[in-house]
Every structure is written in structure tokens, then in C-alpha cells.
Amino acid sequence: MKNSNHNDIYIAWDIGGAYTKYAIEQNSQVRCYVQKCELWKNFFELKDLISRILKKFKNKKIINLITMSGEMCDIFENREIGVKKIINHFKSLKSTSYIFTKNKLFFDIKSNNFSVNNIASMNWIATSNFLANRVENCIGIDIGSTTTDIILIKNNKIINRRINDFTGLINHELLYSGILRTPIYALTHEIKYRNKKYKIIPENFANMSDIYRLLAYLKPAYDYSSTSDNRSKSNINNMKRLSRIFGFDYHSTKKDLLFMLSKKIFTIHMDHISSNIKYHLQQKYVKTKDLKIVGIGIGKFLIRLICKKNNWRYIDFNEYCTHKTVGIYQPSDIAPAYSLIPLLSNYEKNT
């Protein structure tokens, strides 16, 4: 890595199960991408995506930096097989590739000098290390399409107890709720409105993207998941999908009701995330001064609203990013992938 120069192309990959996010650095400029890539269906889509991107720079030296969570997809028998399958594909390429591990180390992918357990679903560690190098005390909240990662930094050290998804879940550091693909029944089974109960059918008739789309919180660039019925994302279709989860058919007379029920679900989602932040504040930050809550991911707008409601200090992840960025997406939208680039720079300086 010491032989790298400013003409090299760095491509930082965060390989997920439904979306692959990547950042391309060239001449100190970064462009961020979110690409639908349904690894859970087959491996071909990922191979094709990587091939198409690398071909754009076929006359340049390419350095891949890799982290992942897609190894958990059910096309793989287990996570170990998933990690090895992804790594073996990068090994087969002519470009240079480095894998990021939870020990903050980058290993040449051809060296085999790494543990699968230090790679599987460790993309959040990249973001955590990026923040720990820049913020003394913070709680980073990365809300994506399906999950929420809670990153705990104290005295510039990562204090998460999470070592895998299982420990992340039981320690309130990984929440399976996001802005787009989360089914509504994952958050609540009934709503009370005007002294009436509205039961929520536990079927995939609608998801949280319908809520945030109807309430006008979801920007088109971030509305990249498919709808539950594969129909359009118009307000009428949003309301039709939402009507189904309550057990009635859509009619124009129900517009106001659906809007108010959506606001109730929005509040439940906010409270769900708030309660987990408060848990960590009480457990780990009671005497901590100058604590910041860092908003990350396509759902960072929700963190900004939560901070305003609770009078917490909010900082956008992008404020810590020094690269010139171009394009639709920002570093905060693909934080694990973006973080690999400055982390590599720090690693090179210290080795």
C-alpha cells in the first residue's frame, strides 16, 4: 500500500444483501453510490456490478477496500461460506484488494492472514473507527433501509459490546428497523386513535417506506427500495398498501385517517429509536460532557428530529468528512464504505 499514489483509483465497497454501497476516490475527490444488488437472490448480480465498475477504470491501478454484511444472505449455507465466497471473487480479479477487519487492520486479500469472524458483518466497525478518530464522545446512529446501528464512542474509544449481530441485538446496539424495507408490524401490532383500536395485519402488505413517503420525509434519491406490491410509489398506491395492513380497502374518504395513522406509526418508530438512545445514555454517559449524537444513513433526518425533541446536540456525519464529494449521494449515505478511505490513509501513515 505504501506504493500508492494520487493517480490510483480507490473503490471502497460495503457489500450488503439487498444493496451494495461504494465510494470511488480519484484525485482526492469522492463520489458515493448506492446500487440495488440483490445478493440474497443470486451471486451473479454482485459479480456483474463489480465487473462493470472496474471496467470504467481498466487503464488505471485500482485498489479495492472491502467490508460487508451480505455474507448472511440465505444463498450461502452459513456466514463463513458467504465471507469466503465474496473474498474469493475479489481474489480472482486483477486489481489489488484489501479486506477491512474489526481489529482496524487492512489485509491483502490474497494473504489469507485474517479471520472470518473479524470480517462478517463488521461494516459498522469502519464507521465506528472513523468517528473514534474524530469525536471524543458521541453516539452515532446509522439508520438504513432495514437496520439501525448504534455506535458508542467514549474518550475516543469504541465501547460497543457488539461482536456480531447476535450480541448487537441483545445489547441494544443493532435494531432491525429502518426507513424503507422494515414491515410495519415489526414496530407495532395496533394503534389507538380517537378511542379506537386499529389492528395491524402481520403481512407484507406495506412497509415503512410507505409511511415516510406519505408523510413527505423520503427524498426521491433515497426512495430506492421496491414497494411491497411492486406497484408505483404514488400517494394513492401508498394509501392502498397502508389500507391493507389495517384490514380495509382504500377510499378517498379515508385519506385523513390514513395520514393520522401514519403519523402515529412514525411516532412509534421515533420512540423506539429514542428509547434505545436513552438506554445507552443512562448506562454509559451519565457524567459525560459535550456528548454529540451523530446522524448517519438515509434515516438521519429521524435522528435530527429526535435530537430536537430531546434537546440533544445533533451533528451530521458529513461534517467530519474532508473529501470533496460529487454526485447525488453523500458520505453519510454510505458511511461504512466511505469510512474505509480515510481509515486506509491513517493505516498507511502508521505502518
pLDDT tens column, 165-203:
999 999 999 999 999 999 999 999 999 999 999 999 999
How far apart are the C-alpha atoms of 54 and 101, rounded to whole Å?
A: 23
Share of the chain above pLDDT 90, in %: 92
Which tens digit of pLDDT belongs to each residue from 263-313?
999 999 999 999 999 999 999 999 998 999 999 999 999 999 999 999 999
- Alpha carbon distance 158, 151 (integer Å): 8
Architecture per CATH, domain 136-320, reads as 2-Layer Sandwich (3.30)
The whole-number pLDDT of residue 326 equals 92
pLDDT value at residue 7:
80
Listed in sequence order, the DSSP H helices in the chain are 44-55, 79-91, 123-132, 165-170, 208-214, 235-246, 255-284, 300-310, 335-350
Q: What separation in angstroms does the CA of 147 have from each of 142, 173, 179, 183, 186?
A: 8, 10, 8, 12, 12
**Spatial distance between the Cα atoms of 155 and 197, rounded to a whole number of angstroms:** 46
Per residue in 54-80, pLDDT (tens digit) is: 999 988 999 999 999 999 999 999 999
Q: Which sequence spans correspond to the domains of the chain?
A: 9-121+323-350, 136-320
Using alpha carbons, select from 248, 251, 264 the residue that is nearest to residue 215. Answer: 264
Helix 255-284 × helix 235-246 angle, to 10°: 80
Whether 136-320 and 9-121+323-350 are alike in CATH topology: the answer is: yes
- Provide the pLDDT for residue 345: 87
Alpha carbons within 13 angstroms on the beta-carbon side of residue 254 total: 18
Percent of the residues in the chain that have a pLDDT greater than 70, as a whole number: 98
Determine the pLDDT at residue 350.
75
Query: CATH homologous superfamily for 9-121+323-350?
Result: ATPase, nucleotide binding domain (3.30.420.40)
* Whether residue 252 has pLDDT greater than 50: yes
List Cβ<8 Å contacts ≥24 apart for 184-193. 184/208, 184/210, 184/211, 184/245, 184/265, 185/245, 187/265, 187/268, 187/269, 187/272, 188/265, 188/268, 191/261, 191/264, 191/265, 191/268, 192/264, 193/257, 193/260, 193/261, 193/264
Cell, residue 121: 458483518
